[in-house]
Amino acid sequence: MSDPVILTEQQGACGIITLNRPKALNALDTETILVFNQALDTLERESGVKTVVVRGAGGKAFCAGGDMKFIYELGKAGRHAEQLDFFRLEYQLNHRIARFPKPYVSLLEGIVMGGGAGISLHAPHRVAGENFLFAMPETAIGFIPDVGATYFLPRLPGKLGAYLAMTGARLGCGDGVAFGLATAFIPVAQHEALIAKLAAGEEAGAAIAILNAPAPEPELFKLKHFVDGCFGAPTVADVLEEIDEAGYGGLMFAMNTYDLIRTRSPLSVTIALKLAQMGQKLDLEEALRTEFRVVSHILRSADFYEGVRAVLVDKDHKPNWSYKDIEALKPADVEPYFAALPEGEADLTFAVEA
């Protein structure tokens, strides 16, 4: 008998949801999302639960994101409707978390990537442990930063959101706190102490503040001037030109960033930048609806299947992208990805709040 994908328990006034697929780095599939929603239903109804804590089992990951091999296999089998069902459920869960009526605390230890960000960063309390590792790595597999990234990335300081969306770069604990991805740093050894305080009925913000500790030294934060100077450019080609000029000045980080973007799907990078620019003016619902439409089209594109093949299936890390480089892609090439859904496909909707 397989282990449950979600564990739910109550300790005093604290309800705890544990993602329980440690061998899969707690990745999300359709079953996990459905059971997660059921857990939220239970804890929302339970009058004795004052605060909800969400964490990942195994220590290596809070959640490594959506199970993209699962999505890939559905697409290869021609099951497009089931692919969309997954993203519909996932984005509705992201929206629900952002509107959850009880304090929601994300305990972020280990990997927090892709879909893992969607079930944590929309929460008001985001507590990083020392091994916190964040990324939105989707452009490496011909996909886009989603789960509301179109909303939360542009609201990070400066142009960090565009940088993270395009490159898929990783941020450690120090930068996560410095840039506001995490609202507090509490060493893992103190996480049970936090749960004990919440179980005793202490208010979430106050309990976190008591245990909040100085975060490790940030690294990328020191290069914020470079990120802001390059990633505010209007097009990917312009961003690359700005980075190239910085590289000529001897900044090794610039040269590495330039090379990194060149390895990503040109189509995905271009769409990611456009979403980051659009997202500054969108609310969360609008951002999720936009992502849903884009994803519907991307799931029909060659780049997604080639990217997943190269990174997650064959693991040769040699994708043959539809466009050989950014220069081969015209601005008009991305417009169809922002079009309305094809006839017969329902748009993303959200539960009406009482």
Bridge partners, residue 185, by sequence: 128
| 153/214 Cα distance (integer angstroms) | 24
Say which of 15, 66, 148, 161 is annotated catalytic: 66
Task: Please give the structure tokens belonging to residue 20.
Answer: 């329980």
Alpha helices by DSSP H, listed for the chain, are 30-45, 68-76, 80-98, 115-118, 149-152, 160-167, 173-178, 191-199, 204-211, 224-230, 236-248, 252-263, 266-278, 284-298, 302-308
Say which of 67, 109, 146, 306 is annotated catalytic: 146
Collapse the DSSP code of 223 into the 3-class scheme (helix H, G, I; strand E, B; otherwise coil) and give the result: helix
Q: Is 176 a catalytic residue?
A: no
Bridge partners, residue 14, by sequence: 11, 51
Say which of 110, 115, 118, 176 is annotated catalytic: 115
Q: What is the DSSP letter of 18?
A: E
Say which of 29, 90, 109, 138 is annotated catalytic: 138
| 2/170 Cα distance (integer angstroms) | 32
Task: Please give the structure tokens belonging to residue 103.
Answer: 């304090």
| 93/100 Cα distance (integer angstroms) | 10
For residue 154, is it left (φ>0), alpha (ψ between -120 and 50) or beta?
alpha
Count other Cβ atoms within 10 Å, centred on residue 200.
13
Q: Is 115 a catalytic residue?
A: yes
Task: Please give the structure tokens belonging to residue 173.
Answer: 């604990």
Count other Cβ atoms within 10 Å, centred on residue 316.
9
Task: Please give the structure tokens belonging to residue 308.
Answer: 């997943």
Q: Is 168 a catalytic residue?
A: no
Q: Which of 132, 297, 156 is nearest to 224 (CA)?
A: 156
Q: Is 146 a catalytic residue?
A: yes
Catalytic positions, please? 66, 115, 138, 146
